[in-house]
Structures are given as structure tokens and as C-alpha cells.
Structure 1
Amino acid sequence: MSQNLIAALQNPSLYPHEVDGFQVIETHISWVILTGQYAYKLKKPVNFGFLDFTDLNQRQYFCNEELRLNKRLTEGLYLDVLPITGTPDAPVIGGNGVVIEYALKMLQFPQSQLLSTLQANGELTAAHIDEMAQQIAHFHIQAPHVPLEHYQGTPVAVMEPVRQNFDQIRPFLTDKADLQQLDALQAWAESSFIRLEPLLKQRKAEGFIRECHGDIHLGNATLIDGKVVIFDCIEFNEPFRFTDVYGDVGFLAMDLEDRGLKCLARRFVSQYLELTGDYQGLELLNFYKAYRALVRAKVSLFSMPADATGVQRAATLRQYRNYANLAESYSTIPSRFLAITHGVSAVGKSSVAMRLVEALGAIRLRSDVIRKQLFGEQQPENAVGEGIYSTDASETTYKKMHELAATVLRAGFPVIIDATYLKREQRDAAASVAESTGVPYLIIDCDAPDAVIEGWLAHRQAQGTDPSDATLDVVHAQRASREPLGADEVQRSKRIETNNSKSLDTLIEDIRQRLPGL
């Protein structure tokens, strides 16, 4: 009956708008009829356990849920839920009479603008990822908290689907190496759960289980009018959506890494953290990335036909192993370090720090961002060294950065602190963090010609998007008051010319040679 309805709906006279032609996109749970200006999505009457669309009333309910939930991240994309009356062979959209189906009306956008398509064509940029990080961060901050009494988000609830993955994957595997790898992954997941259980309880108690998106990846994001729009959240299963915010973060990070975009994945995570300040949950990231990778691995096995040929089975197993290997990569013991920048404002420290994020997987802590999270914006009436840049405010800012650095290092990630560190006392405090956490310590001594610094500063001020408030007067004051590196500090430093890309490339290569696990 449904196939007849889909065929009958491909009739231009049924629609109150111009139709450019029809194209039907079919998934395992829905049909989407493209008409040119608008798209109409119908849910299949199927039951897969994790969703049940077999009842018409349920399909209506979940159409309305999809409309409601996706409006949180989109504007003008999801439009209405329309009844379909008549018969499967002679349907009427929005008519009177007995309803035979429901359709979700959406604004149609070109499939060529999906971020997954842009990525395949080599057109995905860091700016797209930064925009996603900003949207997801703001979305998570505003997302409704799942009530504390709700089962979802408890440690037991978090671990259930993780264990289910292993149970559902194992019957598909016959190769000894595949089974041994799966056993090792399950043992790692179980040991990780024991280690993380107190943090999972804390996250639940502190309200980090929220009504999230549940399915954030490049295939569910597109460009509309030049702006990134994230769509198609999970509406059909609350447990998939009621999750720790790191469930969403881990999904996109894993998806980027699966596509060979490790640098962008690292950039996304670091940018997201700068916006949310949720460093306390960072220890959960690899756990959720591994879980998401194994979900993908499982789905690839599920998609294999029962009568698969040898070639089809080999292709499916190859896809499965790619995801299993990706999950395994998240179980490795990381190499950690603590690096700090040293130099006046506008010398290029933030760009240096971002290179370490992308190349080495460091988490960037920016003094300009953390200072304003603590104290708000600088007031115009305050002079240099006053207001949020007073001695007391600076001491508090550095103390907070060092506390966060210790948290991130304990979570298993290297850290780059992007700050001026013009005072010996500040640098000594950072060195103490490295010593207490048992990681290598590096001072990145940043310098550039005065003309370059002035040019960068003017460009930054013209753009008006950088969190720094530094002016040329501030730079001059910093030069006059800076305390040079001591002889012992020079031994633990690397001087780079920030206007020379080769200087930074050499730094990164040196760190990789010293810490080959990066």
C-alpha cells in the first residue's frame, strides 16, 4: 500500500505550488519526496525495536515531534505536518475526510550543499566546522535538562547500548582476529565504565544529560544561504536523544575522524570547549567516540543481505573493520604534554595554539576567553591594567587556566595554554601543573617583527571578532613590563617566529619526535 501511495503522490496536480519534477529518497525508515521547492517526508510503517512506526497515530506523533525538535536548530526549514486523505491510489494532501497518512513538509535544499557532499568534493572548510561548534555549543547550553529522576543518563542506562553493540555484532563475525579485537574492545569498554562511573553519576547529578540532537554528523548538516544548518535529529527514540552532551560531541568528532579529518575533529572539540567550558566531562569523549564508531560498525553488518555474495560480504567486512579499528584507536594510551605560549598580544599565539590543536590533538585554553567567562566584558572607562585586566583579575584567570589544564591532562589530553605569560610567577605556576601531572612541559616563545604585530593587531580590530581587547598601547606596556625567560626556562622553551610557517612546522615535528604517540 505504501509504495502505491508514494507513486501516486508523484502527481504535480496534488500540490498547491509549482513542481519542478519528482525525486524520491528512500531510507530504511522513511521516504522523502522532492518536488523542487519543497520536500515531503513520510514515515514507513516499520518496527525495528528501537522505533515503531506501525501505527498511524504513532506516525502522526513522531511527525509532530520531528517538526518540534528540529525547529530548535533550524529556522524555516521544517514547516508543517500535513494529513493525507483519500486513498493510496488517489491521495489528497491536506484534504478533509479519513486520514490515511501524514507528511512532514520541509523546505527543499540542494543535496550538493550537504556538508558530507562538500567534504567529498574537498570543499569543507575550517569555518564550516567552527560554525558547527558554535551552533552545537549554544544548542547544548539551552537544551532542556533531562529530569534527575529520569532513567536516561544514569550509568546503567549509558552502558546498556554499549553492551548491546557487542552482543549484536558478535554473531556476524567468524574470523578469529575480528573476534579477538571485539573481545579486547569489550574489555576496554567495561574497564572504562568502571573508571568513569563516578563521573557519569556526577554528570547526571549536575544536569549534563539533556535533550540533545542524537545524530550529528556531516550528512545531517547543510548550507542554506551560506550558513550551516544542522537538521534531522532523533525524534523516534528518547534514549537516543536524552544523553550526555558529549554523546553529540563524540558523534561528530568520530564522523570527522572516520572521513580522515582528524585535524578538523580536534579543532571542533577544542572550539566547542572554549564556548561551553565543559572541560570536566572531557574524560568521556573517547568513550563516546568508541561507542559511536561501533554503532556504525554494527549498522554496516546489519546492512549486509542475508544472501550476500562473497564480494558483498568482503566489502561489508572491510567497512566493519574500518569502524572497529577506529574504535580501537580510542582505547590507546595517549601522549600528553603541557605547552604554554609566551609573548605579547597580537604576536600570533592563538594561531600557534590552534596549530597544536589540529596537528597534535591538544586542547587549547585561551586566557582571553576564560577571562571574559569569569569577569564579563572589559568596560570602556577602564584603562590599561584595570577592570578585567587588573592584577587580581589576571591572577584569578591564570589560576583558573591552570586548574582546567590539570583537569584536561588527567582526562588524557595534551594542553596548550594560549596566554602572554609575561611574568615568571605565571610560568612557574604552569610548570608546577606539568610536574604534578607528570607530563612534559614546553614554553613556546613567540616573536614577530613589530610591523607584523601592528598589522595583525589592526586586522583583528577591524574584524571585531577576536576575544582579545589588546591595543597597540597594551602591546607597548607589555613589552615594558615583561619578565624575560630565565636560563632554566630557556632550556625548556622553543623560540619561533610566528610569521614564518616553517618555524612552527619545525616545532610540531620536534614535539612529535619527542612524543611519538601523538
Structure 2
Amino acid sequence: MASDRPDQADELAAFMAALSQALHATVVETHISWVLLDGTSAWKIKKPLKLAFLDATRLETRRQWCEDEVRLNRRLAPDLYLGVVPIHGARAHPNLTGQGPVVDYMVHMRQFPDDALLSHRMGPGQLDPALLDDWARDLARFHADAPAATVAARWGNPQSIEAGMQGVLDGLAAQEGVPQTALSGLRAWASEQARLLAPVWPVRQQLGRVVEAHGDLHLDNVLLWQGRITAFDCIEFDPALRWIDALSDVAFFAMDLVAHDREDLAWRFLNAYLDASGDHAGLPVLRHQLVYRALVRALVAKLRERQRRDQMAGGSMPRGPDYLALALRWVGVAAPVATPQLVITHGVSGSGKTVAAGLWSARHEAIRLRSDVERQRLFGAGAYTPEQTQRVYERLFYLADQALAAGWSVVVDATFLARAQRQRFQALAQAHRAPFQILHCEAPDAVLRQRIQHRLAQGRDASEADLAVLAHQQDTAEPLSQQELRHTLWSQTHQT
């Protein structure tokens, strides 16, 4: 605690008891806060602590942080954060009616059920995957609208990135039960990454990708609220943890989905974010940030484990995700990282390419590139001339080249009806020494037509191909050669 008075703990306990009685609320305690829940509202009070990473001992600091918390979190969850409420009177007899001096402040929020948290909705059928597409687009807009750090700022520079990684590794080294061989491997990998990425981080700053983001996007801070996924409880007490590369936010959320055994949702979300943001230039730093975020959660888990062990005097504790093992997997300490692969789809519109590509992406931790998305990014609506199509394939080739160079497998979701285009991408795979496959998709003509009409009627998909485009594709498609068929995977569907 933040005082030399031996009775402060008793005083604060009495304060919480009196306040919870006044609000008819139950108290939930976290490491740095108390949260009072009355069934309708949540009231969050910051503990007057002084820790290695924060100092909340001054009343004015706690007031400022409460105001910052409301301001910052209203960016993503405006209906959840209601304001800052002063607590008057004395700690032994607090009131919310304005009688007496202000003794503390609290953030007033709407209460939500526990099962609204995504950490409680990871089981099969508990979360509509389509909601993640909307969340990815919302997060991309949030990052695009957020203030960007200037190049002169220290946020996001190579020194601060390396210091953050070394800090979390030092923290893990001080914990019990962390294998030294694992730490040695992680330190060697981090050192090599610092060398390789030193010229990349300044470019990210120059591109405006270091922004005032959320900073703490794990599954306990993301919820289903009013029919949409959104986030709350961003970091307000330390700007350095909030002014970060936008892909660090994305990596945090995707990492935690993988840690909870939902690789399918993680890669769907990640690729939807890249579709929305177009930030494929960040792929060289993605693995670094996935590993960093996994290590952060591994350290948090170790600290909580020690705290609970002290409180429970050796009692059993539930085990959560093994974040350290996940970091080691991505680094290649326990086993070599899989060789990047290049897969292209093949088939006319409506044949199921996007679904098949998404499934392959989740199984192989692959970046999915969609011709329909890149077509709209380049030209807007209705761009299907031969010249425009050629430009789209040039863009896909460039992005696939960049992703493979960054060490990621790639699946390119496009029709690839021209043999020359298929051959060009096969040559790209050979240049990267990456295995190459064609994912052929087909469906009966009636199913193709029905899917296209349904997709156009809904108006939610990036594809604008209509029945005229389908007819042209069927008339001009160049079939797979015998040589191509040797490395072709087949996906057939007969249902809409």
C-alpha cells in the first residue's frame, strides 16, 4: 500500500465496506482497482497504490486517471462508460450526495453479465464468427481515426520496442517455474528480431501506424455488447503502453484467441482486419508482436499465480492458457517454425473459394489475400475490365511476395482462371522455396447462380461478380493442366 500508516489496509477495507453498503453493491477486487457491482451499474475505484509500473497515491492522479479512462474508452464503448463520480465525506462514512470534501473518485459504467466477455464465449457455437468480421472493421476504423505519433516521439521506436521485450523477459526470469533454456532461446530470438526489425519500426512510425490505441486487447477486455463486439478497459495510466503500433493491438487479440484454442477465429479476425485496413506492410512485425503479447500474458499469469498461491496458502488453482508455450511455438524454440507455403485458389465466382481459403488459412496460420477486396481498394465498385483485373493480380503478387518474405504462409483467394497467372504465382513460390498448391473449388451451375444472387442481395461481401461475370468466366477459363493437377487440392460443394 501507499502509506506508512499500519492501519491503512483496515481503513481501505472499511471504506469499501461502507461504500458497497451505500450502493447496495458487491465488491470485486483486482490488482489495482475495486469494482462495485449493484446489478445495473459498475463503479470502479483505483487503489491508492505505488507499484513498479504506476503511482496512484495522489488523489489528483486518481481523478485524472478516472477522467482519462472514461475519455479513452468512450472511443470504442461510448454507451458503456457513463462518467466520473466524486466520493464525498470521509472514508469511514462516504456519500455520493456532495456532502463534505472529496475523498476519492470512481468511474461509473453500465454493468454487463459475465458471459458477455469473449473469454467466456470460446466454446463451440457461443460466438457468431461473422461478428468478428464487423469487429475487425470497427478496429481498423478506430486505428485509422486515432491520433498518430509523430516521428519525433519516442513511441514505437526501435529502442522502446526492444526495451519492452527485454523488460517482459526479465520479468519472466524472476518467476518460479520458467525454464532457463526457454528463456535463453527467447532472448536469442528477440536479439535477432531487434536487429532485423530496427529499420522497420521507423517506417511504421512514418506511415502513421503508431497510434493512441487500446493497449490491452485480451479476451477479458473484449465483450459482446448490444449485438456487436467491442473493447473496454484500455490502459489509461501509462501512455507508453497505449501509444503503440496498431498491429500490436491486433496481435494481442489474435494471440489470445489462439491461446484459447480458437485458431479459426484468430485468423479469420486477423485477415478481416488486414482486408479492412490494408496494412499488409506490417506483416514483418506481426510475429514479433504475437510473441511479445503472449509473453506479456505469460508474465501476468505467473504474477497472479504467485499472488493466489500466497493468498490460498498452497491450495489448488485453475490453470489458464499456456502463453509461454505459445510464444515458444511461434519462435521455433520447441520445434522448427513451419516452412511458409503459397496456395492459390482456382474456380469461378460462387464456387466457394473464400470459404475454402479461410479454412486453409486457419489450419496453416496463413495470410489470406482476396482479389475482391484488393479490386475495391484499387478501383472502387464495378472494376472488371481486363486491364483492371491485371492490376489486381499485380497487387496480389506484390502482397504475396511481401508476406512470404516476412515468413508467413499465404493463400490467395482469386479465380486464377488464366494459366499464365497461375504459372506466375508458382514461380513466386519457387523463388521463395515455398511449397505451392492449387485449391480448386467447384459447385453445380445452379448452386453458383443461387450463391451469386444471394450474395448480391445481401450486399455484405466484397465480391460484386454478377451472373454476366460468371458467364464470362465460364466461357474464358483455361482448365488446369496435367502438370498443375499434380499439386491440386479439391473442394466440392453442392449446397448453397
Q: TM-score if structure 2 supplies the norm length?
A: 0.91
| Partner of residue 17, structure 2 | 7
Alpha-carbon distance change, 441 to 167 in structure 1, aligned in 2, over 3 angstroms: same
| Partner of residue 279, structure 1 | 280
> Number of matched residues?
481
Give, as a single letter, the amino acid of the residue that structure 2 aligns with 1:197: A
Q: Distance in 2 between matches of 1:228 and 1:403?
A: 32
Q: Distance in 2 between matches of 1:120 and 1:341?
A: 30
Q: CA deviation at 1:457?
A: 1.6
Among 330, 337, 352, the residue aligned to 2:341? 337
| Residues 114-513 of structure 1 aligned to structure 2 (within 5 Å) | 114-119=117-122, 123-173=126-176, 178-303=179-304, 304-305=306-307, 308=310, 312=314, 322-332=322-332, 333-378=337-382, 388-499=383-494
Q: Distance in 2 between matches of 1:265 and 1:487?
A: 36
Alpha-carbon distance change, 482 to 228 in structure 1, aligned in 2, over 3 angstroms: same
Q: Distance in 2 between matches of 1:236 and 1:121?
A: 36
Alpha-carbon distance change, 331 to 313 in structure 1, aligned in 2, over 3 angstroms: farther
Q: CA deviation at 1:306?
A: 9.8
Q: CA deviation at 1:10?
A: 2.3
Q: CA deviation at 1:348?
A: 1.1
Q: Distance in 2 between matches of 1:200 and 1:136?
A: 21
Q: Distance in 1 between matches of 2:314 and 2:145?
A: 44
Alpha-carbon distance change, 491 to 396 in structure 1, aligned in 2, over 3 angstroms: same
| Partner of residue 381, structure 1 | none
Alpha-carbon distance change, 255 to 470 in structure 1, aligned in 2, over 3 angstroms: same
1:291-332 CA distances to partner (integer Å, 9 max, x unpaired)? 12222222233231498599949969x769x22211101112
Q: Alignment partner of 1:145: what SS?
A: coil
Q: CA deviation at 1:121?
A: 8.0
Q: Distance in 2 between matches of 1:127 and 1:488?
A: 38
Q: Alignment partner of 1:119: what SS?
A: coil
Q: CA deviation at 1:91?
A: 1.6
Give, as a single letter, the amino acid of the residue that structure 1 aligns with 2:15: L
Q: CA deviation at 1:140?
A: 1.3
Percent identity between matched residues is 38
Residue 93 in 1 paired to residue 119 in 2? Answer: no
1:265-312 CA distances to partner (integer Å, 9 max, x unpaired)? 122211111111111111212211211222222223323149859994
Q: TM-score if structure 1 supplies the norm length?
A: 0.88
Q: Distance in 2 between matches of 1:274 and 1:315?
A: 41
Bigger CA drift: 397-406 or 194-203?
Answer: 194-203
Q: Alignment partner of 1:443: what SS?
A: strand
Q: Distance in 1 between matches of 2:308 and 2:256?
A: 27
Q: Is the 8 A contact 1:173 1:179 kept in 2?
A: no
1:325-352 CA distances to partner (integer Å, 9 max, x unpaired)? 1110111223211111111111111111
1:244-277 CA distances to partner (integer Å, 9 max, x unpaired)? 1121111112211111112221222111111111
Q: Alignment partner of 2:198: what SS?
A: helix
Q: CA deviation at 1:442?
A: 1.6
Q: Distance in 2 between matches of 1:265 and 1:341?
A: 21
Q: Is the 8 A contact 1:83 1:94 kept in 2?
A: no
Q: CA deviation at 1:32?
A: 1.1
| Partner of residue 5, structure 2 | none
Q: Is the 8 A contact 2:255 2:294 kept in 1?
A: yes
For structure 2, the residue ranges without an aligned partner over 5 or more in a row are 1-10
Give, as a single letter, the amino acid of the residue that structure 2 aligns with 1:104: V
Q: Alignment partner of 1:80: what SS?
A: strand
Q: Is the 8 A contact 2:357 2:368 kept in 1?
A: yes
Q: CA deviation at 1:94?
A: 5.1
Give, as a single letter, the amino acid of the residue that structure 1 aligns with 2:93: A
1:148-176 CA distances to partner (integer Å, 9 max, x unpaired)? 1111111000111211122222233477x
Q: Is the 8 A contact 2:80 2:110 kept in 1?
A: yes
Q: Is the 8 A contact 1:84 1:101 kept in 2?
A: yes
Give, as a single letter, the amino acid of the residue that structure 2 aligns with 1:445: H
Q: CA deviation at 1:130?
A: 2.5
Q: Alignment partner of 2:489: what SS?
A: strand
Q: Alignment partner of 1:339: what SS?
A: strand
| Partner of residue 40, structure 1 | 43
Q: Is the 8 A contact 2:290 2:327 kept in 1?
A: yes
Give, as a single letter, the amino acid of the residue that structure 2 aligns with 1:425: A
1:177-215 CA distances to partner (integer Å, 9 max, x unpaired)? x11111111111111111111111221222211111001
